[in-house]
Structure formats: C-alpha cells, structure tokens
C-alpha cells in the first residue's frame, strides 16, 4: 500500500492532533499542576482546620 | 462537635490539588488560596450533605468550582492576573527545563475559554475520569469530552505546534540532526 506516502511529514494541516503533540501538551499541563501540588499544604489550611476543630470541641464540652 | 479524623485527613489531603485547580482557574495564587479556604469552610459547614463512601476530592472540587463560577460572574470585569502572581509562585521551576515553552504554555492555557480550561485541567491534570469531571461541572460526559478535545486543539494552535518537534530547542536540534539537513 502507500505506507511511504503516509509517512510524509506534516505538510498538510492535521485534522486531529497527533499522539506525540497530545502527550507533550499533557506533560506540560501536569508539570504546571504538579508544581503547585508539590508545595503541599500551606500552614494557613492546617491552622484553619485546627481552629474549626477547637471551636467545635469547646462547644461540645 | 469535633471534626471527624477521617474527614480532617481527607480534606487536608485534597488541599494541594484544590490549590492547583484554583490557581489554574483564576491565575492568581492569593485569590486561589482564598478560594480554597472558602471551599473548606463551605464544605465543613455542609459536611452532612457529603455521602460517606463517595469521592471526597470530587465533592470538594465541585464546591470550589461552583464558588469560583459565582465569584467569576461577579468579577468578570476585573482584569485577570493570568501571569504575574502565577509566575511568582513558579520561580522554583528549573531554569533549564524549556522555560520559554513552559511560559508559552501557561499563556496559551490562560487564553482558553473557561469551560474548556477547566475540563482540560480536571481530566488532564487532576486525574478525574470524564464521568467525574462531568459531575463536577454539572454537564454531560460527551460535553466534557468535546471541551477537552477543543481545548487541546486550541492550545496547539495558540502555541503553533503541529508536531512534537515544534516544541523546544532541544527537539528541533535533534530533528535537524536526525534528518541530516
């Protein structure tokens, strides 16, 4: 068949994104996201939950 | 009533990805952290409406997303800080790893329509299934799929990418060497 023709490099505008492009975009997206995830839990949120918890305990006793 | 230890753990465990989601929605770290804080307060005030055994993280994402949506409508006319604060938190990003490409990517992402951006992030970064993302956004699974596809296509257009070789100088050099040009 025309295997050689299909290997021709991206001269035509692709109707669908190639897997390689999708993979690379996905990688970028995750690296951006994980940069924030890897910052962990900032103190303000631990403090917030502690405060809420203490208020709750006082009310309960 | 003291907070249930398992609730506390699940809520805190979700904070890092809630922040990442919030930052990618509003592009501003301070606002994102306020958004996460308001989300936690709302969630804990309504903890009785959480169904044990279901996905706590997805529940929190839904609250955050809805809250952002209502805030966003209010502040629509404010200029979004899509670059400044975000760039600041990301200073630790290693310099050698495609800095320009990374910057271009963030800029392209911030130009996506809201619907497409959140769908792409939920599925592509937060790791939710299409079904979970559809629940979080309150729409059909097919809608999420088409938003994700459109988001990817638009991102590639914005970044002028046709093939993986269009990314970054390293790849270009390698491609040139490989093709003998």
Q: What is the CATH number of the domain that holds B144?
A: 1.10.10.10
pLDDT in tens, B126-167: 999 999 999 999 999 999 999 999 999 999 999 877 666 666
Give the rounded distance of the alpha carbon of B131 from its chain centre: 17
In a domain, A3, yes or no: no
Same domain, B74 and B115: no
In a domain, A15, yes or no: no
Give pLDDT, residue B13.
Answer: 94
Same domain, B107 and B71: no
- Count structural domains, chain A: 1
d(CA B106, CA B118): 14
Q: Count how many Cα atoms sit within 13 Å of the Cα of residue B33 in the half-sphere of its side chain.
A: 16
Among A17, A32, A44, select the one facing B152 at the smallest CB separation.
A17
Q: Which residues does B152 contact at the CB level (< 8 Å), separation at least 6?
A: A17, A22, A25, B120
Give pLDDT, residue B80.
Answer: 47
Provide the residue range defining the domain that includes A58. 21-61
Q: Is the pLDDT of residue B8 over 80?
A: yes
Same domain, B121 and B176: yes
Residue A1 or residue B168, greater confidence: B168
Same domain, B56 and B125: no
Lowest mean pLDDT among A34-38, B94-98, B114-118, B162-166: B94-98
Which of B51, B79, B107 corresponds to the end of one domain?
A: B79
Q: ∠ CA(B63), CA(A42), CA(B35), 5° rounding?
A: 30
pTM of whole model > 0.80?
Answer: no
d(CA B148, CA B117): 8
d(CA B34, CA B56): 20
Give pLDDT, residue B178.
Answer: 53
Q: How far is CA A47 from CA B91, B105, B148, in A?
A: 26, 34, 36
Residue A17 or residue B156, greater confidence: B156
Which of B19, B52, B79 corresponds to the end of one domain?
A: B79
> Which chain B residues in 5-64 lie under 8 Å from chain A, judged by CB atoms?
8, 11-12, 15-17, 19-20, 23-24, 33, 36-37, 40-41, 44
Among A21, A31, A32, select the one facing B163 at the smallest CB separation.
A21
Give pLDDT, residue B4.
Answer: 83
Task: Pick the residue from chain B with its C-alpha nearest to A13.
Answer: B162
Other C-beta atoms closer than 10 Å to the C-beta of B178 total 9
Which of B47, B79, B111 corresponds to the end of one domain?
A: B79
Q: How far is CA A13 from CA A8, A43, B166, B171, in A?
A: 12, 49, 14, 20
Nearest CA to B116 out of B150, B84, B93 is that of B150
ipTM surpasses cut 0.95: no
Same domain, B15 and B42: yes
Nearest CA to B109 out of B135, B82, B129 is that of B82
Task: Pick the residue from chain A with its C-alpha nearest to B1.
Answer: A56
Same domain, B42 and B111: no
Task: Pick the residue from chain A with its C-alpha nearest to B45.
Answer: A52
Most confident among A16-25, B118-127, B170-179 (mean pLDDT): B118-127
Long-range pairs, B54-57, Cβ under 8 A, ≥24: B55/B132, B56/B7, B56/B10, B56/B11, B56/B14, B57/B10, B57/B13, B57/B14, B57/B17
Lowest mean pLDDT among A47-56, B62-71, B125-134: A47-56
> Which chain A residues are closer than 8 Å to B100 by Cβ?
none
d(CA B44, CA A55): 13
Same domain, B62 and B128: no
CATH code for the domain in which residue B11 is found: 1.10.1740.10
Residue A51 or residue A60, greater confidence: A51
Percent of chain B with pLDDT over 90: 51
pLDDT in tens, B14-60: 999 999 999 988 888 899 999 999 999 999 999 999 988 889 999 99
Q: What is the mean pLDDT of chain B?
A: 81
Same domain, B104 and B73: no
Provide the residue range defining the domain that includes B169. 96-181
> Which chain A residues in 2-61 lie under 8 Å from chain B, judged by CB atoms?
9-10, 13-14, 17-18, 20-26, 28-42, 44-46, 48-49, 52-53, 56-57, 59-60
In a domain, A6, yes or no: no
């Amino acid at each position: 068949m025309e295997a050689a023709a299909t290997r021709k490099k991206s001269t035509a505008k692709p109707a669908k994104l190639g897997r390689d492009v999708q993979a690379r975009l996905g990688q970028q997206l995750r690296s951006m996201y994980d940069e924030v995830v890897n910052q962990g839990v900032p103190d303000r949120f631990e403090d917030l939950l502690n405060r809420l918890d203490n208020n709750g305990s006082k009310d309960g006793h | 009533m003291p907070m249930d230890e398992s609730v506390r753990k699940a809520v805190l465990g979700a904070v890092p990805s809630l922040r990442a989601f919030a930052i990618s929605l509003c592009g501003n770290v301070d606002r994102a952290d306020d958004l996460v804080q308001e989300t936690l307060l709302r969630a804990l005030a309504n903890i009785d409406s959480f169904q044990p055994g279901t996905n706590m993280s997805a529940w929190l994402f839904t609250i955050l997303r809805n809250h952002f949506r209502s805030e966003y409508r209010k502040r629509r006319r404010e200029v979004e800080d899509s670059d400044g604060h975000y760039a600041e938190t990301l200073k630790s990003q290693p310099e050698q790893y495609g800095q320009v490409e990374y910057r271009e990517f963030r800029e392209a992402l911030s130009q996506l329509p809201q619907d497409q951006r959140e769908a792409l992030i939920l599925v592509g970064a937060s790791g939710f299934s299409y079904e979970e993302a559809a629940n979080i956004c309150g729409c059909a699974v097919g809608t999420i799929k088409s938003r994700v596809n459109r988001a990817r296509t638009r991102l590639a257009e914005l970044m002028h990418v046709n093939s993986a070789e269009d990314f970054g100088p390293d790849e270009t050099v390698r491609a040139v060497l490989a093709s003998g040009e």
